[in-house]
């Protein structure tokens, strides 16, 4: 405990010193929620949008065993981000019992997939799960785990230019790879390779990206028995190797979590490395945050080492994230639909529809907002009520926030309810029919938004 307090104080001092005189501060990237193991992607349907998929750390946790779910984030400018909330959870995966650890995502044959690891129920071994969605923000539906992968921790999927899918995985000083079959649910056993000996210091977390015809395999590793992890890389002419070890490109750094893990993406012509640290929690290894820096290669193709800085991508004074929670996502997104239905009759909804038919008292929708610390948000609700006013209660974490009569609105419209406070951890925002008194109209809830507000903006 003393040790943790000391680390925290030391880290706060270093952050303070590095902040003086610096206008831009884009690291950590997400400051409202604890996230780790980032998987950055740009999908072919929209080159202007960057997506980052992450695992999630609970505030206050002191190990990684209790990790249960994943989030998706998107941006078009690297400054303003949307947190699409929980996209997959242990509860949505029948075969798993714990350890929702690192994940990756891919777009393959017109569907979006997340590839993740969890421990198989009753056996306690890591498996590599596959879940699908027809939209990049999920939620994702589990399809089972990949056959032929033993100890499938920290999976990463790479689709080569010819459309061939490859899977990489690794843990505990080992790393493996294989070509996947077309359904992504099993490997081709004849292609399986053990890459461990080619990847000096490897510990876990492989990631492959292609640049100028070469395959770069980046990974967290330990120089013999020494934590924290540093990031290393190796290069090959073929996705399955052989790989030539090149060296370290993110050394250990102040405020680092014991682990490091990440991926590379090219966005608007620039290569960027996403990884994680423990800056947001003041250096506590089990509550991590996503970081991003430009990744550059020298004229020989070697990666120029990254020195993590608070400035990060250096585009703005800070990043801002808005939680965007679609009402219809229900259980898969950590919410609940009680005695209401998902409909699509009123046009102009976002996502897959909206929630309606609040006929009886307590018929409700609730949505889950996960945050790292007690903090303030601007709360908005998008709704329609074409046939007249509708009486409802809004609860935040079981406390009545507001009794509200949603005015008649034939089209979907946004109401700004002003500033609300969320607690650290899981917050439930519930909208329900207030009483037996009939409303004039039927309410349709499309989504809620909770936009980060900073202390210096409140007065």
Question: What is the pattern of x (binds ligand FUB, CB under 6 A) and - over residues 67-106?
Answer: ----------------------------------xx----
Q: Which is nearer to ligand FUB, 152 or 335 (CB)?
A: 152
Q: Which is nearer to ligand FUB, 92 or 257 (CB)?
A: 257
Per CB under 6 A, does 149 bind ligand FUB?
no
Contact 386, 427 (CB under 8 A): no
Interface with ligand FUB in residues 248-307 (CB under 6 A): 259, 261
Contact 155, 117 (CB under 8 A): yes
Q: Is 288 helix (H, G, I), strand (E, B) or coil?
A: coil
With contacts defined by CB under 6 A, how many residues of the chain interact with ligand FUB? 12
Per CB under 6 A, does 230 bind ligand FUB?
no
Q: Which is nearer to ligand FUB, 25 or 278 (CB)?
A: 278
Helix (H), strand (E) at residue 2: helix 2-19
> Cα Rg for the chain, rounded, in angstroms?
23
Question: Which of 152, 155, 205, 312 forms a contact with ligand FUB (CB under 6 A)?
Answer: 205
Q: Which is nearer to ligand FUB, 204 or 363 (CB)?
A: 204
Per CB under 6 A, does 393 bind ligand FUB?
no
15 φ/ψ angles, rounded to the nearest 5 degrees: -60, -40
Tell which residue, 377, 424, 369, 427, has the closest CA to residue 61. 424
Q: Take residue 184 and report the two structure tokens written for it.
A: 């992504």
| Nearest-approach distance from CB 449 to ligand FUB, in angstroms | 28
Q: Which is nearer to ligand FUB, 218 or 385 (CB)?
A: 218
H helices of 402-445, in order, are none
**DSSP single-letter state for residue 396:** E
Q: Which is nearer to ligand FUB, 260 or 427 (CB)?
A: 260
Residues 337, 330: Cα–Cα separation, whole Å: 6
Q: Which is nearer to ligand FUB, 29 or 384 (CB)?
A: 29
Q: Which residue is nearest to ligand FUB (CB)?
A: 101
Per CB under 6 A, does 152 bind ligand FUB?
no
Interface with ligand FUB in residues 416-435 (CB under 6 A): none
Q: Go through 138-164 and write b for each residue having 16 or more CB atoms within 10 A of its CB, e for each that does not.
A: bbbebeebbebbeebbbbbbbbeeeee
Residues 159, 166: Cα–Cα separation, whole Å: 6
Question: Which of 142, 154, 328, 451 forms a contact with ligand FUB (CB under 6 A)?
Answer: 154
Per CB under 6 A, does 37 bind ligand FUB?
yes
Per CB under 6 A, does 55 bind ligand FUB?
yes
Q: Which is nearer to ligand FUB, 104 or 293 (CB)?
A: 104
Q: DSSP of 238-283, one letter per residue?
A: STT-PPEEEEEEE---TT--S----EEEEETTEEEEEEEESTTTTS
Per CB under 6 A, does 64 bind ligand FUB?
yes
Per CB under 6 A, does 204 bind ligand FUB?
yes
Return the bridge partners of 405, or none.
391
Q: Which is nearer to ligand FUB, 106 or 391 (CB)?
A: 106
Q: How many helices (H) and strands (E) does the chain have?
A: 1, 33
Burial degree of 80 (CB within 10 A; 0-12, 13-18, 19+): middle
**DSSP single-letter state for residue 7:** H
Q: Which is nearer to ligand FUB, 98 or 339 (CB)?
A: 98
| Nearest-approach distance from CB 68 to ligand FUB, in angstroms | 12
Per CB under 6 A, does 221 bind ligand FUB?
no
| Nearest-approach distance from CB 171 to ligand FUB, in angstroms | 8
Per CB under 6 A, does 36 bind ligand FUB?
yes
Contact 276, 259 (CB under 8 A): yes
Return the bridge partners of 116, or none.
103, 129
Q: Which is nearer to ligand FUB, 63 or 300 (CB)?
A: 63
Helix (H), strand (E) at residue 175: strand 174-179
* Positions in the binding site for ligand FUB (CB under 6 A): 36-37, 55, 64, 101-102, 153-154, 204-205, 259, 261
């Amino acid at each position: 405990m003393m040790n943790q307090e000391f680390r925290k104080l030391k880290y706060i001092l270093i952050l303070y010193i590095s902040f003086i005189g610096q206008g831009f501060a884009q690291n950590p990237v997400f400051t409202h929620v604890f996230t780790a193991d980032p998987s950055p992607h740009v999908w072919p349907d929209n080159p202007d949008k960057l997506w980052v998929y992450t695992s999630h750390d609970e505030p206050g946790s002191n190990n990684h065993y209790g990790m249960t779910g994943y989030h998706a984030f998107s941006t078009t400018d690297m400054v303003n981000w949307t947190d699409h909330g929980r996209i997959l959870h242990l509860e949505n995966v029948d075969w798993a019992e714990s350890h929702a650890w690192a994940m990756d995502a891919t777009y393959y044959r017109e569907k979006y997939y997340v590839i993740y690891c969890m421990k198989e129920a009753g056996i306690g071994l890591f498996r590599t799960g596959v879940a699908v969605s027809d939209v990049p923000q999920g939620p994702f539906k589990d399809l089972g785990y990949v056959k032929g992968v033993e100890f499938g921790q920290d999976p990463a999927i790479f689709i080569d230019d010819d459309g061939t899918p490859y899977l990489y995985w690794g843990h505990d000083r080992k790393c493996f790879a294989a070509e996947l079959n077309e359904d992504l649910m099993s490997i081709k056993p004849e292609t399986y390779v053990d890459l461990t000996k080619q990847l000096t210091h490897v510990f876990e977390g492989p990631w492959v990206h292609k640049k100028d015809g070469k395959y770069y395999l980046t990974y967290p590793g330990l120089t013999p028995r020494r934590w924290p992890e540093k990031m290393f890389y190796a290069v090959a002419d073929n996705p399955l190797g052989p790989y030539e070890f090149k060296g370290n490109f993110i050394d250990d750094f102040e405020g680092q979590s014991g682990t490091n893990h990440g991926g590379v993406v090219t966005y608007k012509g620039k290569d960027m490395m996403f990884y994680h640290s423990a800056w947001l929690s003041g250096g506590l290894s089990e509550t991590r945050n996503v970081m991003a820096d430009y990744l550059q290669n020298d004229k020989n193709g070697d990666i120029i080492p990254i020195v993590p800085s608070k400035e990060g991508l250096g585009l703005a004074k800070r990043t801002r994230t808005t939680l965007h929670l679609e009402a219809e996502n229900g259980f898969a997104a950590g919410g609940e639909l009680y005695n209401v239905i998902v409909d699509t009759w009123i046009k102009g909804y976002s996502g897959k529809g909206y929630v309606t038919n609040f006929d009886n008292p307590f018929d409700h929708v609730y949505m889950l907002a996960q945050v790292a610390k007690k903090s303030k948000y601007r709360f908005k609700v998008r709704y329609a009520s074409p046939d007249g006013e509708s009486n409802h209660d809004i609860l935040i974490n079981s406390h009545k926030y507001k009794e509200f009569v949603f005015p008649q609105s034939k089209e979907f419209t946004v109401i700004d309810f002003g500033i609300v406070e969320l607690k650290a951890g899981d917050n439930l925002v519930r909208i329900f029919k207030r009483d037996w008194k009939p409303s004039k109209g039927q309410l349709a809830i499309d989504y809620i938004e909770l936009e980060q507000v900073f202390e210096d903006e409140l007065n």
